[in-house]
Amino acid sequence: MLIKTAEFVKSSGKWQECPDATIPEYAFIGRSNVGKSSLINAMMNHKDLAKTSQTPGKTQLINHFLINEEWYLTDLPGYGYARVSKSTRKDFEKLITNYILNRKNLVNLFVLVDVRHTPQKIDLEFMQWCGESGIPFSIVFTKADKLKPGGAQRNVDTYETELLKTWEEAPQMYITSAEKKQGGDEILKYIEQTNQY
Ligand code: GDP
């Protein structure tokens, strides 16, 4: 998909404040520092559409971007911050879960994980919750350039094996690097194929 236009629409602190759900929507989520902003910017061919996070846990808002005047890209606040208070964390979680469960035009959720890490409990639990809630999601592995060739695929295979211990089928997986602008095209291809209402 050629990105002709990518515009910031609004930031919302509640799911009810999100733009009208009139066009297909694709959301990106992951732990802080996973490389979400970098990947969004790389995919959109934009230096600073999504703000790369200096202070983990600061952004507690849902950010909507209108792409090609056809679909929304949504940048969700990260989950699993260690450095914020329990009540702040609860607020994040409520915002995210309410958005995910109520957003009618949400086509797919892209869950980002750092390809260098072994499967983390918090990510697995989040994916489990998505599955139980009937939310379609894919896994996006980030920072593939940080591993030697073959290393990323090996880690993805390990991840898949872990998931298949509890799942009948593994979700769609993408291996990406914002740094090398890799993998984003496949995500955009999927979006292009599914964003027609
Ligand atoms: P966010 O908190 O998930 O939005 O993460 P950021 O996009 O701000 O990235 C966190 C850190 O990881 C920054 O220092 C980025 O430069 C770095 N980073 C993000 N993506 C990549 C990547 O594909 N390759 C490499 N080598 N570093 C990356």
Q: What is the mean pLDDT of residues 89-103?
A: 89
Beta bridge partners of 137: 109
Q: What is the mean pLDDT of residues 49-57?
A: 63
- Looking at per-residue pLDDT, the higher value among 89 and 110 belongs to 110
Q: What is the mean pLDDT of residues 174-190?
A: 97
Average pLDDT, the chain: 91
Q: What is the mean pLDDT of residues 95-103?
A: 95
108 lines ligand 1 (CB under 6 A): no
177 lines ligand 1 (CB under 6 A): yes
pLDDT of residue 50: 85
Residues 6+ away with beta carbon under 8 Å from 57: 32, 78, 81, 83, 84, 88, 92
Instruction: Report the C-alpha gap between 69 and 139 in whole angstroms.
Output: 26
Q: What does the domain layout of the chain look like in residue ranges?
A: 6-194
Residues 6+ away with beta carbon under 8 Å from 157: none
- Looking at per-residue pLDDT, the higher value among 157 and 57 belongs to 157
Which band of pLDDT confidence, cut at 50, 70 and 90, is reported for residue 93?
A: confident
User: Has residue 181 got a pLDDT over 80?
Assistant: yes
Strand order in the sheet with 137-142: 6-12, 62-67, 71-75, 25-30, 106-114, 137-142, 173-175
pLDDT of residue 126: 93
Spell out the SS3 assignment of the chain.
Answer: CCCCCEEEEEEECCHHHCCCCCCCEEEEEEECCCCHHHHHHHHCCCCCCCCCCCCCCCCCCEEEEEECCCEEEEECCCECCCCCCHHHHHHHHHHHHHHHHHCCCEEEEEEEEECCCCCCHHHHHHHHHHHHCCCCEEEEEECHHHCCCCHHHHHHHHHHHHHCCCCCCCCCEEECECCCCECHHHHHHHHHHHCCC
Q: What is the mean pLDDT of residues 10-34?
A: 95
Instruction: Find the length of the chain.
Output: 197
What's at 88, amino acid-wise?
T
pLDDT of residue 196: 77
pLDDT of residue 154: 96
Mutate to test the pocket of ligand 1, among 33, 36, 38 (most ligand atoms within 8 A of CB): 38
Closest-CA residue, ligand 1 atom 10, reads: 33
Q: What is the mean pLDDT of residues 183-191?
A: 97
Instruction: Report the C-alpha gap between 29 and 110 in whole angstroms.
Output: 6
Q: Closest Cα to residue 140, out of 107, 162, 108? A: 108
Residues 6+ away with beta carbon under 8 Å from 156: 115, 141, 173, 175
Question: In angstroms, what is the span from residue 50 Cα to ligand 1's centroid?
Answer: 12
pLDDT of residue 83: 64
33 lines ligand 1 (CB under 6 A): yes
Which band of pLDDT confidence, cut at 50, 70 and 90, is reported for residue 189?
A: very high
Question: In angstroms, what is the span from residue 38 Cα to ligand 1's centroid?
Answer: 5
User: Has residue 53 got a pLDDT over 70?
Assistant: no
Q: What is the ipTM of this complex?
A: 0.99
Closest-CA residue, ligand 1 atom 15, reads: 35
CATH code that applies to domain 6-194? 3.40.50.300
